């Protein structure tokens, strides 16, 4: 752990500002101790959910063991938190729901949802059960309303730079609406635990088929609000996907989590991509390229060149399969906040198309092919050339022209016709899933879209796929191809 300073054993006995320099700032600001002065928020404490309350009754033995291990290996954690359940196991971390036992000892400016949640979440029945082996000073007789946090234990395999980066960015984004604030963070030896407010939410896999367009409007207003704040700070989230936006349909708001892959715009630039140059410069570069001068169309054959002497192009491709923007796949070295807008578009497509996951490729080449089967080869070639790349395919089913998003949504959701409100949502989708990042909507543009400013309220419940839907759309493909081409341009 080179980036984080070493902390002595018993870290919890120290002030919470004993992390790295940058993390000190987090700790001081968020956790200024106010001995004996419980905040006014104390009075309205109870509402902090109980969506997951039942789950805590039937915790798997392996989860119990896992939580016990954390308590045993991270000195002092059981004194501060009562671990309740494991709520997330990602690529980079395990997330636990816990009760904040020392909530009243600190100022809790971060607790912005508390008042609202109080109105909608019923108080849980008083429960003073203690976990087996729990140590600490929690008094079972003293009645207090439980305050919940999410403890994100970042895996030791994550690089210290990544961990510090996530904590720093979260610290910078403190106070941004719809972004999950960082309360504080602790480190013991090589273990780092970030403390976040627990945000009750519904699993996307449960809601995506039942979402009405009006629900989508609430969801995306909240998501774009979050992205607007994040992008205003010139930060790319890089991993926008349903599990990183915790949406609560009761309050019609969500919070953006997981800044593990986030970065400041420009920090990963490995050279300026030609997509930033004017069109005529790009054209002349292309005409001078090896591809243009040596590879006439007739010379093209299937496969990869055996001896490719071109230097490898490296670009950040961090993100999740199925949500990566085309410029990420085309190795653009000047990626911008627009990559998040594409990913948000994929979520909207999932909701409108009622298919999750919508894109299901195994690697980046497959992902490009998936895109090509929607956009057609002509537009893919243009998009690739924009970043100095060449797109070629000999897959016969991929046409030149591609299809409109309206058509795609109809096929995916197996409906004959879209409602006016679905059509309006699809127009927003078209602005988000634009191959050229310069033409793609930004978060503030999206919030100004007619979908939000002049909503068409004509919602009907989705009836589910018809019995024999499998082939219904395919026969029409060629018939309306030309019309689609016009619609896409
Ligand atoms: N503040 C929170 N409140 C409630 N649940 C949370 C919170 N933070 C995270 N979670 C849960 O834990 C899961 C994983 O969290 P997070 O995305 O931060 O970790 P990760 O290891 O980066 O995950 P992944 O690799 O899957 O993206 C989330 O999808 C969510 O279900
Ligand atoms: Mg995540």
The pLDDT score that the predictor gives to residue 299 is 57
Q: Is the C-beta atom of 204 inside 6 A of ligand 1? A: no
- The pLDDT tens digits of the residues spanning 416-457 come to 999 999 999 999 999 999 999 999 999 999 999 999 999 998
CA of 234 to the centre of ligand 2 (A): 20
CA of 245 to the centre of ligand 2 (A): 8
Q: Is the C-beta atom of 52 inside 6 A of ligand 1? A: no
Q: Is the C-beta atom of 94 inside 6 A of ligand 1? A: no
What's the CATH code of the domain at 475?
A: 1.10.510.10
Instruction: Indicate the number of domains in the chain.
Output: 2
Q: In DSSP terms, which residues pair with 154 in a beta bridge?
A: 93, 192
Q: Is the C-beta atom of 181 inside 6 A of ligand 1? A: no
Do 153 and 270 have their domain in common?
no
- Domain end call among 197, 220, 255: 197
Do 193 and 209 have their domain in common?
no
Q: In DSSP terms, which residues pair with 97 in a beta bridge?
A: 85, 150
Q: Which mutation among 243, 318, 323 tests ligand 1's pocket best, with the greatest number of atoms within 8 A of CB?
A: 243
The pLDDT score that the predictor gives to residue 134 is 44
Do 290 and 360 have their domain in common?
yes
Q: Is the dihedral of CA 290, 371, 433, 341 positive or negative?
A: negative
- Domain end call among 165, 182, 197: 197
Q: What is the mean pLDDT of each run of 10 residues along the chain (489 residues)?
A: 30 31 33 28 30 62 95 95 94 94 85 55 40 45 78 93 95 93 94 96 91 96 98 97 96 96 82 82 77 65 74 87 97 95 98 95 95 97 93 93 97 94 97 97 98 88 58 36 34
Kindly state the tokens that stand for 208.
């995506």
User: In this structure, which ligand is nearest to the CA of 320?
Assistant: 1
Work out the angle between the directed axes of helices 405-413 and 338-353 (0-180°, nearest 10).
Answer: 40
Q: Is residue 104 assigned to a domain? A: yes
Do 169 and 266 have their domain in common?
no
Do 424 and 355 have their domain in common?
yes
Closest residue by CA, ligand 1 atom 16: 258
Do 268 and 143 have their domain in common?
no
- Domain end call among 173, 197, 221: 197
Catalytic residues: 239
Cis peptide leading into residue 226 (ω within 30°)? no
- CA dihedral 14→20→21→22, nearest 10 degrees, is -110
Do 329 and 469 have their domain in common?
yes
The pLDDT score that the predictor gives to residue 110 is 76
Ligand 1 atom with the smallest distance to the CA of 154 is 21
The pLDDT score that the predictor gives to residue 2 is 32
Say if pTM beats, i.e. exceeds, 0.75: yes
CA of 123 to the centre of ligand 1 (A): 24
Which residues touch 28 (CB under 8 Å, ≥6 apart)?
Answer: 17
Q: Is the C-beta atom of 151 inside 6 A of ligand 1? A: no
What's the CATH code of the domain at 16?
A: 3.30.200.20
Q: Using DSSP, state whether 37 is helix, strand or coil.
A: coil
Do 209 and 347 have their domain in common?
yes
Q: Is residue 308 assigned to a domain? A: no
Q: Is residue 393 assigned to a domain? A: yes
Q: Is the C-beta atom of 237 inside 6 A of ligand 1? A: no
Q: Is the C-beta atom of 199 inside 6 A of ligand 1? A: yes
- Residue 123: DSSP 8-state: P
Which residues touch 407 (CB under 8 Å, ≥6 apart)?
Answer: 480, 484, 487
The pLDDT score that the predictor gives to residue 280 is 82
CA of 330 to the centre of ligand 1 (A): 28
Are 368 and 352 within 8 A, CB to CB?
no
Do 252 and 186 have their domain in common?
no
The pLDDT score that the predictor gives to residue 277 is 82
Q: Is residue 140 assigned to a domain? A: yes
Q: Using DSSP, state whether 179 is helix, strand or coil.
A: strand
User: In this structure, which ligand is nearest to the CA of 243?
Assistant: 1
CA of 401 to the centre of ligand 2 (A): 35
Domain, as residue range, for 24: 5-197
The pLDDT score that the predictor gives to residue 108 is 82
CA of 177 to the centre of ligand 1 (A): 18
Q: Is residue 480 assigned to a domain? A: yes
Q: Is the C-beta atom of 262 inside 6 A of ligand 1? A: no
Q: Is residue 305 assigned to a domain? A: no
Do 144 and 225 have their domain in common?
no
Q: Is residue 478 assigned to a domain? A: yes
User: In this structure, which ligand is nearest to the CA of 200?
Assistant: 1
Do 54 and 192 have their domain in common?
yes
The pLDDT score that the predictor gives to residue 31 is 28
Do 370 and 317 have their domain in common?
yes
Q: Is residue 127 assigned to a domain? A: yes
């Amino acid at each position: 752990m080179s980036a984080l300073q070493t902390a002595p054993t018993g870290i919890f006995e120290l002030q919470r500002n004993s992390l790295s320099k940058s993390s000190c700032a987090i700790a001081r600001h968020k956790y200024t101790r106010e001995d004996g002065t419980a905040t006014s928020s104390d009075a309205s404490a109870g509402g902090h959910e109980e969506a997951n309350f039942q789950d805590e009754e039937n915790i798997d033995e392996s989860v119990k063991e896992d939580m016990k291990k954390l308590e045993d290996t991270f000195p002092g954690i059981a004194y501060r938190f009562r671990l309740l359940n494991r709520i997330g196991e990602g690529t980079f971390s395990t997330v636990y729901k816990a009760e904040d036992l020392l909530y009243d000892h600190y100022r809790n400016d971060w607790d912005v949802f508390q008042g609202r949640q109080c109105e909608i979440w019923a108080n849980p029945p008083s429960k003073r059960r203690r976990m087996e082996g729990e140590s600490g000073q929690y008094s079972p007789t003293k009645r207090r309303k439980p305050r919940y946090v999410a403890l994100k234990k970042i895996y030791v395999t994550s690089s210290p730079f990544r961990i510090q980066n996530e904590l720093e960015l979260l610290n910078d984004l403190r106070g941004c609406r719809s972004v999950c604030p960082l309360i504080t963070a602790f480190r013991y030896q090589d273990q780092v635990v970030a403390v976040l407010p627990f945000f009750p939410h519904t699993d996307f896999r449960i809601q995506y088929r039942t979402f009405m367009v009006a629900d989508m409007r609430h969801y995306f207003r909240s998501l774009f609000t979050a992205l607007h704040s994040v992008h205003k700070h010139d930060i790319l989230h890089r991993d926008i996907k349903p599990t990183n936006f915790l949406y609560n349909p009761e309050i019609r708001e969500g919070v953006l989590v997981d800044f593990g892959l986030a970065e400041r715009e420009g920090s990963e630039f490995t050279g300026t991509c030609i997509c930033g140059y004017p069109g005529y410069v790009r054209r002349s570069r292309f005409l001078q390229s090896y591809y243009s001068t040596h590879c006439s169309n007739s010379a093209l054959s299937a496969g990869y060149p055996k001896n490719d002497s071109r230097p490898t192009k490296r670009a950040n491709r961090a993100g999740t399969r199925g949500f990566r923007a085309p410029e990420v796949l085309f190795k653009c070295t000047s990626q911008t906040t627009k990559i998040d807008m594409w990913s948000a578009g994929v979520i909207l497509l999932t909701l409108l198309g009622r298919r999750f996951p919508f894109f299901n490729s195994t690697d980046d080449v497959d992902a490009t092919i998936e895109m090509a089967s929607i956009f057609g080869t002509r537009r893919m070639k243009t998009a690739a050339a924009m970043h100095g790349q060449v797109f070629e395919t000999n897959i016969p089913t991929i046409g030149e022209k591609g299809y409109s998003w309206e058509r795609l949504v109809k096929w995916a959701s197996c409906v004959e016709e879209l409602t006016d409100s679905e059509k309006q949502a699809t127009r927003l989708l078209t602005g988000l899933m634009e191959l050229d990042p310069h033409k793609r909507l930004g978060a503030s543009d999206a919030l100004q879209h007619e979908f939000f400013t002049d909503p068409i309220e004509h919602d009907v419940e989705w009836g589910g796929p018809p019995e024999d839907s499998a082939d219904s759309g395919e026969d029409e493909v060629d018939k309306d191809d030309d019309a689609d081409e016009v619609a896409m341009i």
